[in-house]
Amino acid sequence: MPKLMLALDVLDESEAIKISEETSEYVDCIKIGYPLVLATDLGIIKRIKEKTNKEVICDFKVADIPATNEKIARLTLNYADGIICQGFVGLDSVKAIINVAEEYKQVGNSKKVIMVTEMSHEGAKSFMQPIANEIAKMAGKLNVDGIVAPSTRPTRLKELKEIANNAFVISPGVGAQGGDLQEVLKVLDENDYVIVGRAIYLNENPKESAKKYKELL
Ligand code: FNU
């Protein structure tokens, strides 16, 4: 049974707090990205953690040179329990983030580095899909904690999970993007996460929707 990760891409702090509190009974982890952080500030991570007591992962899909990745990771992991980065930028850029996470680990603060392999949208087929297996191999080599792989393509999800076999998978695409949850459940296990955003936070009753997804999982 995979876990449920809420993608909290709302643009208003009080709405974000309300939804995260209402759904926290059913949600295992909260993912926050540019929409909410840019609409508020980085401290929103801390405020949501305080209200919900959940792990918060920052989806910044960091994709820069090592020196800049390092700065972004240090600022982000000061608040978040984990950070999402892009793999296509190559080994040294991802390693720079892992090194920052290691520093936190050394002082007893566990931080997760999660690397995108192939994205869930249609456009990812053009440039990302042809190199995604190589990116997943790099995930294994670097020993990242987790990878992002698409629920919109369960066959690819299976392949990427197998290639990066020691990493857990967080998988977006169920709900608003039309991914088939039953197919996804054949691939993911108890270490993995199904990411659901709009199908929960845009529902007229986010709590009921989160409950439904938790039960389906
Ligand atoms: P929902 N997301 C994604 N596809 O959708 N991080 C990817 O390949 C990827 C992501 C994020 O569609 C997206 O930004 F790498 O409303 C959003 O936060 O359920 C969430 O996953 C999906 O949200």
Across 163-171, average pLDDT: 95
Cα 122 to Cα 15, 177, 210: the distances in Å are: 30, 10, 26
Please write the tens of the pLDDT for every residue from 144-153: 999 999 999 9
Task: Provide the number of structural domains found in the chain.
Answer: 1
Average pLDDT, the chain: 97
Residue 145: active-site member? no
Please write the tens of the pLDDT for every residue from 33-71: 999 999 999 999 999 999 999 999 999 999 999 999 999
Please answer whether residues 179 and 155 qualify as being in contact, where contact means their C-beta atoms are separated by less than 8 angstroms.
no
List, in sequence order, the alpha helices (H) in the chain. Answer: 13-23, 34-39, 44-52, 66-77, 91-106, 124-127, 129-142, 154-163, 181-185, 198-201, 206-216
The DSSP 8-state label assigned to residue 27 in this structure reads -
Predicted confidence (pLDDT) at residue 3 exceeds the cutoff of 90? yes
Ligand 1 nearest-atom number relative to CA 7: 18
**Atom 17, ligand 1: residue with shortest CA distance:** 7
- Phi, psi of 209, deg, nearest 5: -65, -40
Counting Cα atoms < 13 Å in the Cβ hemisphere of 146 gives: 22
Residue 59: active-site member? yes
The ipTM is: 0.99
Check the annotation: does 41 bind a ligand: no
Q: What is the pTM of this model?
A: 0.98
- Phi, psi of 110, deg, nearest 5: -75, 125
Q: What is the CATH number of the domain that holds 8?
A: 3.20.20.70
The residue range of the domain holding 168 is 3-216
